Amino acid sequence: MERTQRSPVIAVMGHIDHGKSSLLDYIRKENVVAGEAGGITQHVSAYIAEHDGRKVTFLDTPGHEAFKALRTRGAAAADIAILVVAADEGVMPQTLDALAAIQESHIPFIVAITKIDKNNADIEHTKNSLLEKGIYLEGLGGEIAYAAISSKTGEGIPELLDLVLLATDLLELSADVSTSATGFVLESTQDPKRGASATLVVRDGTLTLDGFVVAGDAFAPIRFIENFLGKRVEEAGPASPVRISGFSKLPAAGSLFSIAKTKKEAEALAAKNATATPLIAQTAAVDGVVELPLIVKTDVAGSIDAIEHELKKVTHERARVRIVFSGVGSVGEADIKTAHATGGTVIAFNVGTDAIARELSERDAISILPFSIIYELSEKVGELLAAIVPQITIDKELGRAVVVKPFSSSAKKQVLGARHVSGVLTVGDRVKIVRNGEEIARGSIGNLQQARADVKEIKTEGTFGTEIEAKVDAAPNDEIIAFLVTTS
């Protein structure tokens, strides 16, 4: 076995809208933002760029908080990370999430301070915000390399790439190109024409037009290999992102892949890797908690993880979200039938609905909610959850008094002498009459008198007269509790 130097795999990570995709746009001289809804990168993608004649593979990992699972996968598959921090905002919540993912993966990282071309850019403030979070830069008491860059003008980007290559040299990355390929599944999707397809990153060995790729419990014959530009190639070496189609099922994003020589070997290895995970998650209902059943369909497998991560934050003490079924591909007849059987709502994330499913949903009044931006999805689900929360009525105590002496009573009214205990009692308030801790009647305050004069409320210590409308007569030492009914 002879190991040779290989190219690095770089994960670009950070807070939403801090310039990750813009940085890669500049590096590749290609625009990858135009097709992304809301300008947010929502799928992990891999690209190869060159600097000083050396190839570098970049993983463009989503910066939205919801895609923590994908970010972690990206870091785990990478050799080095670039942590982007915008000069106009400094460290933000997802910056720290990205840092945690990097640290969990035990890989070195470089800081890119982006957007230095903006009028409100403050590089020194950004450096200080990094220091406050324990990110110690070179020259400021630490050893973490950094570059201040602009993806509009290109300022600082060559220096950033120099730092990437320097970090690469320090790692002394190597691979054995003579062996069969191994690596990671970066993303998987259901292609309408090609079936289950996946983006793989080769970490070691060489992928050739021979045998079968086995990833988890899925496998595919290697009939053709597409590089990151969509062009067919005969082989792919270490650090190469490739596309393989024709999997037996969607391979899980983040799973390891290896090569089997025959279909029989591939089937055996996939069966060995298989786990007994039901398609429909059964979750026991909790007493007093209502559920919002959802059927989630997405364009790629990684988005399911992201959506589940986001929806875990949509909570209420008396209601919860339950994902009845999740899968990749357009909304179909089976999804509508599942929704009908469970009383669920269908979430269509970056996918369409076939004609039969559309007709069936209209007939059965099943809601299909399309989304292309995940935070809009979570906001809508939050609204749906709030709408089904059962209302709870609470008696809020306003004031309390003790009956001193009953004076007179009729069929519905009674005049009492009472002593103020706490709070405020007001004419018109609803009241409870409580005897020895047990409520014996409810009614309302018809009149209040203090010092033989009519008053609207009693809020000070002392005795007073009151007319209570209630069906049960009060006795000495009974409590009169004024209350307000509220709902939550």
Q: What is the mean pLDDT of each run of 10 residues along the chain (488 residues)?
A: 86 84 79 50 73 88 56 71 94 87 87 94 93 91 94 93 96 93 86 84 94 94 92 94 92 86 94 57 51 92 88 87 90 88 91 91 90 92 87 86 91 91 95 93 93 92 93 93 85
Please, which residues have CB within 8 angstroms of residue 112's CB and are 6 or more apart in sequence? 19, 23, 82, 83, 84, 85, 146, 147, 149, 160
Treating both helix axes as pointing N-terminal to C-terminal, what angle do 20-28 and 157-171 enclose, rounded to 10 degrees?
Answer: 90
Q: Which residues pair with 227 in a beta bridge?
A: 242
In this structure, what token pair is assigned to residue 103? 């640290």
Contact of 279 with 349, CB cutoff 8 Å: no
Contact of 209 with 222, CB cutoff 8 Å: yes
pLDDT on residue 42: 57
pLDDT on residue 30: 47
pLDDT on residue 279: 37
Please, which residues have CB within 8 angstroms of residue 354's CB and are 6 or more apart in sequence? 330, 331, 332, 333
pLDDT on residue 67: 54
Contact of 143 with 136, CB cutoff 8 Å: yes
Backbone angles phi, psi at 103, to 5 degrees: -65, -35
pLDDT on residue 411: 74
Prediction pTM value: 0.65
pLDDT on residue 488: 65
* Residue 77 DSSP class: T
**In what side-by-side order are the strands of the sheet with 54-60?**
45-51, 54-60, 9-14, 80-86, 109-114, 146-148
R_g of the chain, CA atoms, integer Å: 33
pLDDT on residue 43: 57
Closest CA to 433 of 459, 455, 409: 409
Contact of 175 with 79, CB cutoff 8 Å: no
CA–CA dist 478, 404 (Å, integer): 8
What domains are there in the chain, each with its CATH number? 4-174 (3.40.50.300), 182-273 (2.40.30.10), 290-388 (3.40.50.10050), 393-487 (2.40.30.10)
pLDDT on residue 251: 85
